[in-house]
Each structure stands twice: as C-alpha cells, then as structure tokens.
Structure 1
C-alpha cells in the first residue's frame, strides 16, 4: 500500500478562517485517500515557529512514497521561506519520496496520484 504524507497549514492558526470547517474538509480528504487504497496521514503546521520540528518529526515517522505540500504553504509569498524549509526537510528526511503539490485541501489525492504515476 502506498504511503502519503500531506503537509498543510493548521487552519486554526490563521486569523479570519473558520478552522473547524476547514479541518473537517481536510479530514474528508484523508478519507478519500483510503478510498483509493492509499495509507495517508496529515500534519498541520502552526504559524508559530514550530514548523521545522513538526515537519521533521512527521517525515521521520516512517518511509513515505509521496509528500504533498499544500497550497497554503506554497502560495502566499510571505511563507516563501517556510516553503523552502519544508522542501529541504523533505529532501533530508524522506529522500525517496516523490514531492507533490496540491492547489487546495480538496485535491491532495489527485496530487499524490500524479506523483505516483511519474517514473
């Protein structure tokens, strides 16, 4: 069974967002992985300086086939240094994993499947 780790921003740490509703949507996306026969986990990163430790711990838990880096990390220009840090951590702690990018919390499955199909 393929293994996927999804990395995203904890919606409870972003002012003005409905963290509970967004978390429910993210949990629904995890359920979709199971429907595709993929063993997936999600790590949500707080915007409080704990990202490196949080991501390193998640990447070190097991071997991952794919790591999906969410659009909430990648898209906002103020988070560019966080995005760079996460890419380097994936390379260090999960060197055999393909890296995939979603456009929202609702298409992580498709992002992972694209990465699994690459040679």
Structure 2
C-alpha cells in the first residue's frame, strides 16, 4: 500500500521575527513541525518539510520540491498564510502549488502543532 505523500511548506523558523508573538520562537516552531511530521508518519502518511526563506527564493524552492515527486496533499503553514507581511508570498506559493501539483489537495494549519489534523481533513 502506498502512503499518502504530504508536503508541508513553511518559513524557515530562524528567519522569522517573533517579536510580535511573545509565546513563539524558532525552537518552538521547529519542534512543533517535527512533532507533527512524526505524528503524520505514525498515522501512515509520508510527510516532508519544505522550509523557505522569506520570499527571495521561496517560489523556486517550492517548485523544485514539487517537481521531485507527486504529492497528494500540500500544507501551507500559518506563518506564511496569516502574517500580513507574507501575504504576497502566500499568494505566490498558492499559484506555484496550483501549477506544479494540480491534483494535490491543499490544506492549512493554524499553528505548527496541528498540521496532522489539517492533512486528515483533506486526505
């Protein structure tokens, strides 16, 4: 049986300014992403992280990753989607995913630790 292939796209946590989010930091985000990657594996999914810069090469990085294999589900993280500074990056990445993986389900997490729930909603 083939595992559902999941790509989780997010910002490289060490590049994010957490000054407006006192309860968050790069270590917590990284730990949440890795924990949810392990949770997805335990649920029978094969999940890969694709962490990008703040926009300079992000679209190219995501397009290259999507060209490596067919992904059944693509998660775009809350850091890209909810922070106003990254609105244009979010829009750009949606279009990259739409073009490069037209058959993939797209889902969104609300924090680094609920990625598995987002994937389960759409796979």
Match of 1:37 in 2: 44
- TM-score by length of structure 2 reads 0.88
Where does structure 1 lack aligned partners over 5 or more consecutive residues? none
CA shift, 1:113, in A, is 0.8
- TM-score by length of structure 1 reads 0.91
Can you list the C-alpha shifts for 1:85-119, whole angstroms capped at 9, x where unaligned?
01000011111100001101111111011111xxx
Where does structure 2 lack aligned partners over 5 or more consecutive residues? 19-23
Alignment equivalent of 1:10, drawn from 1, 9, 12: 12
Q: CA RMSD in A?
A: 1.3
How many residue pairs were aligned? 116
- Distance in structure 1 (CA, Å) of the matches to 2:115 and 2:33: 9
Helix, strand or coil: the match of 2:89? helix
Q: How does 1:71-90 map to 2 (within 5 A)?
A: 71-90=78-97
Q: How does 1:1-119 map to 2 (within 5 A)?
A: 1-16=3-18, 18-47=25-54, 49-116=56-123
CA contact (8 A) 2:55 2:89 kept: no
